[in-house]
């Protein structure tokens, strides 16, 4: 029963978001965020050794749990995923922060981007290099938001939400060409900013 | 954490547009596109720095995303054990665990591996062992590889260890650099010239470090060059190539690429020294610029024949934006006779990093290289060009067009915004223009460009401008005679007439230029000056605003917009523009004088002085009078007088025009002297449009100013 209530609740919320209710996005975000966290915790309980979060799978699972199957169209899905992408970002960054603090212990010099990059090819999951990279990305993304809100949203959708070009375009109501351009430019910009920060 | 870089909303939008255009263009066409959009240096730098890392950034985020969201358990559940294509994956060689294949090199396969002792990622090259059965050869290899391992240089791939594991395998453990090989980069087409020169310089630096220790690379080629995500070049496979490759080539189908980088002497006699590396670097530089190798052919035999016997097509014929200097460097590297190449890498690096070349490519300049170097280089480049012009007509296209091409090339080298901005740059451009005319005296554009430049240079030089204006007028009229429909020709005649105070004639020439081509460079800036001079402030502002609309990021256009606002009493609107301009290095001199006048109106004397101080430092002839003016007006009469006295001395020496002295006197409110010197400044043609600007308001209210006006109106 609770599940159905939740489903009805998000459906209504999603419609409200689409109709411009100013309070709706925040409430939808909270619901999605909780759901994602819940799934992520469950996933890690099942796989304590796998210290990774499959973002795309998580988002999909959350969508299914919140909306059931086959009820909403592509547009709704895209809007939902865009919200989930922001939630995912917070979850991942929180995770990275804990990981980074735990593993680094303090007093240590942060690794350079180059070092992180090369480590990413040899290590996986939430080993410190990935955590450092995510934290630096988060900081850079905040600065990107000051330059271009749209580009930062596109990065959230593409990177944290695992959304396709088309889904991102629909969710943010821009053309696919814009998404493609912004995505490539934002990656270059963020990479440069991360390098400035990390050296 | 300081993040100094933050660009305005308008610039960001522009950046997005430029990104979209540039990222669809091959790198070779980007420069031209940026030029045609008149992108200013800061934005251009930003765009280029982003473009340069685009693919590295994409790979990075791709990888990061995979790493973050990889669910190893799911994959294992679905597919059982991960597929193992190569049985060696997962095994250990020495204390290295082999993780994944990276690529196939000429001498064996390279793997990404983990150094189990030091817990670091390395690239591990496993060598084919069969040719190493000769123990003497093996010893030599190992000895040389160990020497190479001792090389420690930023542009050389670090070799950690050379070792053997029993009979079968020898290995080299080396630095692992995420990035692409130059070979991979070149598959996508040629590189921007500045990037090509940068990479060539880095390769040369790596080679230099090796040559110093007596190590010759012997196998410089794009596949042996890694470019990291930071744009750092790492040269691979030092001093190892010879023994292995030559031995192994008998039993392996060698791709045509392998000999394509070898020098003639390497192919004929096998006698190889450091100059052979220079040849190979020449081929690589050629390929980076032109996108294709100089000696092509489908068969080894054809390539070999070409390397030994044929002259390559000049790289400039494949790449029209190739500066002649780079072409000359390539030619010298690709001299068949090693004696005619550079004698050592240092000489090559000196050429690759000469300030002239760097400036031509808009690259930051090392501070140490002086004018003498540039002149020497100009001589070399011009010598090479003249030799080319002399040598070609006999064998190639007919003489006039060949000359024209050479002249155009020289003109293009001089005609660059970056050069026009500084005094030394303008003098250098002047030399190029004169050479262009020497090569082809019927080239109207060069005459027009020369006239414009002489006016600009005389504007900043001291003493009387009359002779220079006469020379410029002759050049401008020659240009018009050669091509009456050339907008620049009329514009440059207008420049001369403006500073000869023949305002009506100047206006007619400028209008003719705009009519022929509304985008004629600088013409609207000169129109602003003209209308300020003619005391038509609203016309000045109109021209300035149209100019900014056409060149929204040009510092000179924005400067003149600020002037237009200044003379219309709108300093409040001018100040934000001026503050932006002051961030440029060096700040435009004219902007400093405008800003100082705005501050002076508000009696913000310290700001006014600070605004002209850098002008006085960078271009003393322009700035010192204004520094004196602002000091005097601020109440520091002593400093004002001091500067006036200096100016008087310099005027006597012919170093400064009468106008400069007039400005200093005006600052001191010594109107008798100021008017006397203004009068003289009409005679020596040093008087400038600033007399109609706010700084001279009190003089304009004086009845004596009418005499100045009359005299200006009656020149000729």
Instruction: Give residue-wise pLDDT tens across range A165-196.
Output: 888 998 888 888 889 889 999 999 999 999 88
Contact B547, B561 (CB under 8 A): yes
- Dihedral (Cα; B423, B427, B433, B435), 10-degree rounding: -160
Contacts of B64 in chain A (CB under 8 A): 120, 130, 133-134, 137
By annotation, the residues of B acting in catalysis are 219
User: Which of residues 132 through 191 in chain A touch B, CB cutoff 8 A?
Assistant: 133-134, 137, 143, 146-148, 159, 162, 181-182, 184-185, 187-191
Phi-psi region of B364 (alpha: psi -120 to 50; beta: other; left: phi over 0): beta
Highest mean pLDDT among A43-47, B315-319, B385-389, B502-506: B502-506
Contact A56 B60 (CB under 8 A): no
- Mean pLDDT for the stretch of residues A53-76: 69
- Mean pLDDT for the stretch of residues A67-78: 68
Highest mean pLDDT among A54-68, A154-168, B172-186, B562-576: B562-576
ipTM over 0.90: no
- Mean pLDDT for the stretch of residues B87-114: 73
What is the DSSP annotation of B125-160? EEEP-GGG-SHHHHHHHHHHHHHHHT---TTBPPEE
Contact B58 A124 (CB under 8 A): no
Least confident segment among B88-97, B127-136, B575-584: B127-136
| pLDDT above 70: residue B576 | yes
pLDDT in tens, B20-52: 888 777 777 777 777 777 778 888 888 888 888
**B121 at the A interface (CB within 8 A)?**
yes
What is the DSSP annotation of B572-606? HHHHHHHHHHTTSSSPPHHHHHHHHHHHHHTT-HH
Q: Cis (ω within 30 of 0) for the bond into A6?
A: no
Contacts of B57 in chain A (CB under 8 A): 187-188, 190-192
pLDDT at B281: 96
Q: How many helices (H) and strands (E) does chain B have?
A: 36, 9
Q: For residues B504 and B501, give the distance between their C-alpha atoms in angstroms, rounded to a whole number.
A: 9
Contact A121 B63 (CB under 8 A): yes
Q: Where are the alpha helices (DSSP H) in A51-175?
A: 55-67, 74-104, 113-120, 128-147, 149-155, 165-172
Q: For residues B578 and B596, give the distance between their C-alpha atoms in angstroms, rounded to a whole number.
A: 10
User: Which of residues 15 through 74 in chain A touch B, CB cutoff 8 A?
Assistant: 47, 50, 52-57
**What is residue B106's DSSP assignment?**
T
* Domain extent for A149: 2-198
- Per-residue confidence at A69, pLDDT binned at 50, 70, 90? low
Mean pLDDT score of chain B: 79
**B157 at the A interface (CB within 8 A)?**
no
- How many percent of chain B have pLDDT more than 70? 80
Contacts of B112 in chain A (CB under 8 A): 121-122
- Per-residue confidence at B81, pLDDT binned at 50, 70, 90? very low
Q: For residues A198 and B228, give the distance between their C-alpha atoms in angstroms, rounded to a whole number.
A: 16
Count of structural domains within chain A? 1
Q: Mutation test of the interface with chain A: which of B11, B46, B60, B73, choosing the one with the most A Cβ atoms within 10 A?
A: B60
Contacts of A138 in chain B (CB under 8 A): none
pLDDT in tens, B350-377: 888 887 777 777 654 433 333 333 333 3
pLDDT at A51: 54
Q: What share of chain B is helix, strand, coil (3-state, %, to 5)?
A: 65, 5, 30
| pLDDT above 50: residue B243 | no
- Per-residue confidence at B250, pLDDT binned at 50, 70, 90? very low
Distance from CA of A55 to the nearest CA of B (A): 5
Highest mean pLDDT among B162-171, B301-310, B420-429: B301-310
pLDDT in tens, B179-230: 778 988 888 788 888 889 989 999 999 999 888 887 888 889 998 898 887 7
**What is residue B339's DSSP assignment?**
G
- Per-residue confidence at B656, pLDDT binned at 50, 70, 90? confident
Least confident segment among B82-96, B110-124, B405-419, B525-539: B82-96
Angle, in degrees to the nearest 10, between helices A128-147 and A113-120: 120
Contacts of B6 in chain A (CB under 8 A): 146-147
> Distance between terminal CA atoms of chain A?
53
Q: For residues A197 and B337, give the distance between their C-alpha atoms in angstroms, rounded to a whole number.
A: 49
pLDDT in tens, A89-111: 888 888 777 766 555 454 455 67
**A94 at the B interface (CB within 8 A)?**
no
pLDDT at B444: 92
- How many percent of chain B have pLDDT more than 90? 32
**What is residue A54's DSSP assignment?**
-
Distance from CA of A31 to the nearest CA of B (A): 22
Chain length of chain B:
716
Highest mean pLDDT among B26-40, B108-122, B470-484: B470-484
Identify which of A55, A56, A188 has the shortest CB distance to residue B54: A188
The number of C-beta contacts closer than 8 angstroms across A and B is 121
**B1 at the A interface (CB within 8 A)?**
yes
Contact A188 B50 (CB under 8 A): yes
């Amino acid at each position: 029963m609770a599940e159905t209530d939740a489903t009805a609740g998000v459906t209504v919320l999603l419609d409200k978001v689409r109709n411009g209710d100013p309070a709706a996005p925040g409430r939808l975000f909270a619901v999605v965020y909780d759901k994602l966290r819940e799934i992520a915790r469950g996933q890690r309980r099942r796989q304590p050794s796998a210290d990774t979060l499959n973002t795309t799978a998580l988002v999909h699972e959350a969508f299914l749990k919140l909306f059931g199957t086959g009820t909403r169209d592509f547009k709704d899905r895209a809007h939902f995923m865009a919200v989930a992408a922001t939630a995912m970002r917070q979850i991942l960054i929180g995770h990275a922060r804990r990981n980074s603090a735990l593993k680094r212990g303090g007093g240590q010099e942060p690794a350079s981007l180059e070092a992180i990059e090369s480590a990413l090819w040899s290590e996986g999951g939430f080993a410190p290099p990935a955590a450092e990279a995510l934290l630096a990305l988060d900081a850079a993304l905040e600065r990107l938001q000051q330059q271009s809100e749209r580009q930062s949203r596109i990065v959230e959708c593409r990177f944290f939400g695992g959304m396709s070009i088309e889904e991102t375009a629909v969710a943010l109501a821009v053309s696919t060409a814009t998404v493609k351009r912004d995505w490539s430019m934002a990656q270059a910009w963020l990479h440069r900013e991360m390098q400035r920060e990390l050296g | 954490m300081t993040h100094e870089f933050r660009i305005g909303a308008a610039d960001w939008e522009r950046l997005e547009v430029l990104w979209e255009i540039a990222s669809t263009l091959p790198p070779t066409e980007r420069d031209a596109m940026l030029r045609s959009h008149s992108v200013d240096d800061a934005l251009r730098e930003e765009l280029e720095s982003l473009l340069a890392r685009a693919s590295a950034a994409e790979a990075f985020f791709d990888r990061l995303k995979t790493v973050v969201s990889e669910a190893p358990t799911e994959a294992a559940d679905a597919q059982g054990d991960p597929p193992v294509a190569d049985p060696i994956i997962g095994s250990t060689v020495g204390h290295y665990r082999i993780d994944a294949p990276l690529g196939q090199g000429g001498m064996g396969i390279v793997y990404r591996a983990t150094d189990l002792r030091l817990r670091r990622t390395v690239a591990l090259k496993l060598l084919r062992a069969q040719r190493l059965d000769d123990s003497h050869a093996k010893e030599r290899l190992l000895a040389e590889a160990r020497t190479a391992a001792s090389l420690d240089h930023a542009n050389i791939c670090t070799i950690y260890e050379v070792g053997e594991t029993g009979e079968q395998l020898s290995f080299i453990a080396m630095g692992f650099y995420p990035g692409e090989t130059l070979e991979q980069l070149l598959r996508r087409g040629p590189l921007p010239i500045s990037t090509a020169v940068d990479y060539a310089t880095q390769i040369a630096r790596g080679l230099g470090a090796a040559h110093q220790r007596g190590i010759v690379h012997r196998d410089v080629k794009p596949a042996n060059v890694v470019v990291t995500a930071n744009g750092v070049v790492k040269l691979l496979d030092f001093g190892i190539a010879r023994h292995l490759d030559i031995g192994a080539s008998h039993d392996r189908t060698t791709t045509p690429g392998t000999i394509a980088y070898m020098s003639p002497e390497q192919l004929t006699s096998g006698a190889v020294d450091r100059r052979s590396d220079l040849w190979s670097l020449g081929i690589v530089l050629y390929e980076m610029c032109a996108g294709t190798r100089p000696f092509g052919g489908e068969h080894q035999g054809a390539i070999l024949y070409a390397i030994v016997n044929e002259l390559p097509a000049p790289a400039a014929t494949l790449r029209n934006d190739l500066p002649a200097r780079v072409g000359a460097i390539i030619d010298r590297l690709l001299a068949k006779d090693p004696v005619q190449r550079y004698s050592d890498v240092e000489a090559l690096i000196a050429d690759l990093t000469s300030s002239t070349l760097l400036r031509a490519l808009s690259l930051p300049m090392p501070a140490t290289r002086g004018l003498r170097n540039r002149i020497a280089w100009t001589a070399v480049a011009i010598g090479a060009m003249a030799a080319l012009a002399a040598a070609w007509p006999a064998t190639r296209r007919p003489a006039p067009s060949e000359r024209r091409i050479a002249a155009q090339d020289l003109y293009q080298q001089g005609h660059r915004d970056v050069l026009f901005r500084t005094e030394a740059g303008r003098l250098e451009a002047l030399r190029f223009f004169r050479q262009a005319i020497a090569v082809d005296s019927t080239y109207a554009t060069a005459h027009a460009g020369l006239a414009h430049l002489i006016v600009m240079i005389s504007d900043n030089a001291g003493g009387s401008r009359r002779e220079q204006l006469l020379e410029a007028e002759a050049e401008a009229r020659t240009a018009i005679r050669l091509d009456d429909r050339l907008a620049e020709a009329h514009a440059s005649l207008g420049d001369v007439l403006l500073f000869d105070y023949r305002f009506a004639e100047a206006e007619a020439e400028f209008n003719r230029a705009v009519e022929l081509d509304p985008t004629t460079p600088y013409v609207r800036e000169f129109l602003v000056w003209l209308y300020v001079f003619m005391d038509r402030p609203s016309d000045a502002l109109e021209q300035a605003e149209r100019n900014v609309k056409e060149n929204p990021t040009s510092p000179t256009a924005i400067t003149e917009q600020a002037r237009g606002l200044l003379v219309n009493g709108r300093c409040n609107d001018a100040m934000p523009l001026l503050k932006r301009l002051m961030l440029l290095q060096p700040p435009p001199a004219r902007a400093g004088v405008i800003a100082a006048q705005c501050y002076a109106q508000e009696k913000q004397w310290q700001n006014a002085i600070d605004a002209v101080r850098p002008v006085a430092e960078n271009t003393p002839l322009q700035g010192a009078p204004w520094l004196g003016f602002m000091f005097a007006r601020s109440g520091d009469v002593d400093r004002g007088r001091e500067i006036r006295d200096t100016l008087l001395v310099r005027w006597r020496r012919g170093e400064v025009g009468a106008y400069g002295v007039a400005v200093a006197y005006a600052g001191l409110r010594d109107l008798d002297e100021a008017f006397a010197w203004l009068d003289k400044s009409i005679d020596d043609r040093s008087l400038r449009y600033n007399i109609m600007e706010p700084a001279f308001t009190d003089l304009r209210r004086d009845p004596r100013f009418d005499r100045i006006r009359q005299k200006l109106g009656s020149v000729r």
